[in-house]
């Protein structure tokens, strides 16, 4: 599995220039909820329990990638070679530790309002118009419930996680599975994420990558990895979708 975080991409586009999507897929950690630091803490402790000391400052750049690959690469940087079985064990341990630490996740700006507005288009979507959406995360099953609950959505959102596919991001499998679940062609999807791995996966899936700088990397890194645009937060995306008439206007007084 190639994991080079650079791709040959055209120059960045302007958000208003992008064609309307039929569906929007969202990463979770660092995109919808502010959990990157907690993820890092879980990984550092997991490595410590395997007697591997790692630099926590380096870990954020790996967030969003397949956890087993992350475990092997970070261990290698610390001078340890690791087989697949051990990397899988550390990945699962890091996830379990994250679940215990992730007691009060905070939604990122615009996340609740954007997903709530998308849920409200659900009826139109079933009738063949309007947007549909899905959360597509590289997290293992069981690690997402607390973060998703913090979004306080009226109904549970559709979720595709690493348990649905053999290879997680930056491979496109996760996004193909999410598009299939929504019954939307990949080239009609936008994928919104905060990591280079998100943007690489979106590019490989033939989706429009919309980067947000609410995680661990800056706009330049997101664009280099394949993002069509890089935004400061989801509030900008929400405003653009409303400008296009794809979402209902904001309530009076907001």
pLDDT in tens, 116-154: 999 987 655 455 557 899 999 988 777 889 999 999 998
Instruction: Please give the DSSP secondary-structure letter assigned to residue 204.
Output: H
Tell me whether domains 15-35+106-243 and 36-101 share a fold. no
Label residue 7 by pLDDT band (50, 70, 90).
very low
Report the relative pairing of strands 229-231 and 23-26 from DSSP bridges.
Answer: unpaired
Question: What's the pTM?
Answer: 0.89
pLDDT in tens, 195-253: 999 999 999 999 999 999 999 899 999 999 999 999 999 999 999 999 999 997 776 55
* Third-level CATH fold of 15-35+106-243: Rossmann fold (3.40.50)
Structural domain spans, the chain: 15-35+106-243, 36-101
**pLDDT score of 23 more than 70:** yes
Edge-to-edge, what's the strand order for the sheet holding 132-136?
159-160, 132-136, 23-26, 189-193, 208-212, 229-231
């Amino acid at each position: 599995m190639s994991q080079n975080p650079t791709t040959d991409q055209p120059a960045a586009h302007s958000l208003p220039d992008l064609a309307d999507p039929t569906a929007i897929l969202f990463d979770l950690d660092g995109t919808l909820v502010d959990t990157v630091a907690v993820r890092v803490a879980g990984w550092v402790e997991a490595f410590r329990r395997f007697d591997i000391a790692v630099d926590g400052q380096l870990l954020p750049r790996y967030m969003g990638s397949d956890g087993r690959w992350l475990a092997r690469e970070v261990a290698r940087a610390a001078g340890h070679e690791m087989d697949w079985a051990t990397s899988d064990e550390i990945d699962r341990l890091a996830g379990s530790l994250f679940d215990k630490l992730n007691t009060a996740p905070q939604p990122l700006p615009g996340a609740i309002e954007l997903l709530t507005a998308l849920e409200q288009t659900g009826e139109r979507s079933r009738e063949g118009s309007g947007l549909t959406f899905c959360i597509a995360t590289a997290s293992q099953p069981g690690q997402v419930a607390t973060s998703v609950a913090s979004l306080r959505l009226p109904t549970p959102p559709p979720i595709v996680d690493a348990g649905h596919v053999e290879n997680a991001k930056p491979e496109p499998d996760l996004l193909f599975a999410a598009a299939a679940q929504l019954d939307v062609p990949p080239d009609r999807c936008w994928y919104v994420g905060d990591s280079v791995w998100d943007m690489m996966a979106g590019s490989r899936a033939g989706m429009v990558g919309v980067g947000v700088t609410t995680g661990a990397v800056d706009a330049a890194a997101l664009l280099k990895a394949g993002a069509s645009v890089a935004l400061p937060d989801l509030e900008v995306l929400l405003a653009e979708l409303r400008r296009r008439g794809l979402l209902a206007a904001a309530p009076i007084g907001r």
